[in-house]
Amino acid sequence: MSFQLIKNKLTHIAHLLQPSCCNFCQQRQSEPICSSCLRELKENLNYRQCLICGRPHLSWVCQSCHTAGWAFDQTVALANETSRLVPCVKAFHLHGHIAQLAVIQYAWAIIKHPKMAPVDLIIPFPENLKVSQSRGFWSALELAKTWSKLSKSPYCRGLITASPHPLAQKKDVATHSFQMNVEIISTLPITNFRIAIILPYMHRPHQLHEIAKILKNYGARSVINWVLIRDSSKENM
Ligand SMILES: [Zn+2]
Ligand SMILES: [Zn+2]
């Protein structure tokens, strides 16, 4: 057997042993996204966003954020509704495919994480228990756990709780109302904390505004939304 043949066979075996393949092109290799798909993704995600609400926008702060007076300070969004990452986030968040978390985390770690300011606490966006049960997990909590390791900041589940809003059917009324968990806050004062709220999808800023308002009332210094997909397609309808 020639040297080249042995080398080819060994390379083939090494490829088979590699634990993963690229989520986009299915090429077998060790990372969840291969280098050429990652390059394409980076170019695709290289657009200007409004610093405050995270919508694609050419200036730093969009018109509506100038007047809206949101209680949160910033939104860091990985992608918008046209991204190649949307099917991964949908599979994870809507259909309970937990394996997609590795792909999403990898994209975030390479594209967003190096530019991120540190935070003192991560809070998963509250979710109705029935929704979590039907999916099999609370997607924002899984994100909080993973992002907590990535950013070396602690996370806290259940600090903010949600209950269905009595006027939820009416237009412009948020579907949930949020409360501070007084038991947790009595043991975990958040005075002067920089807090990140993490969630898979952000459609409108109103619910995040409500949560940020509560956190600021309890003394939080800043509140940032960490969002995977910032979908603003229906915002002006
Ligand atoms: Zn690829
Ligand atoms: Zn804005």
| Stretch (H or E) spanning 70 | none
Q: Which pLDDT band holds residue 228 (cuts at 50, 70, 90)?
A: very high
Q: What secondary structure letter does DSSP report for 55?
A: -
Are the CB atoms for 92 and 101 separated by under 8 Å?
A: yes
Q: What is the pLDDT of residue 1?
A: 65
Q: What is the pLDDT of residue 5?
A: 86
Q: What secondary structure letter does DSSP report for 231?
A: -
* 30 CA from centroid of ligand 2 (Å): 38
pTM: 0.88
Q: Residue 171 above 70 pLDDT? A: no
Q: Residue 209 above 90 pLDDT? A: yes
219: left (phi over 0), alpha (psi -120 to 50) or beta: left
* 96 CA from centroid of ligand 2 (Å): 30
Residue range 2-47, pLDDT digits in tens: 888 888 887 777 666 666 789 999 888 888 999 999 999 999 888 8
What average pLDDT does the structure give for the chain?
90
Q: Residue 204 is which amino acid?
A: R
Identify which ligand lies nearest to the alpha carbon of 84: 1
Which phi and psi (to 5°) does residue 147 adopt? -70, -25
Q: Which pLDDT band holds residue 192 (cuts at 50, 70, 90)?
A: very high
Q: Which two three-digit tokens encode residue 137?
A: 């997990």
Residues whose beta carbons lie less than 5 angstroms from ion ligand 2 = 50, 52-53, 62, 65
Residue range 129-158, pLDDT digits in tens: 899 999 999 999 999 999 999 999 999 999
What separation in angstroms does the CA of 37 have from each of 32, 41, 79, 84? Answer: 10, 6, 15, 10
Helices (H), the chain: 3-17, 35-44, 63-68, 86-93, 100-111, 129-135, 139-151, 182-187, 206-217
Q: What is the pLDDT of residue 19?
A: 62
* 167 CA from centroid of ligand 2 (Å): 26
Q: What is the pLDDT of residue 3?
A: 82
* 229 CA from centroid of ligand 1 (Å): 20
Domain boundaries 49-230, corresponding CATH code = 3.40.50
* 99 CA from centroid of ligand 1 (Å): 17
Helices (H), 69-203: 86-93, 100-111, 129-135, 139-151, 182-187
* 109 CA from centroid of ligand 1 (Å): 17
* 16 CA from centroid of ligand 1 (Å): 16
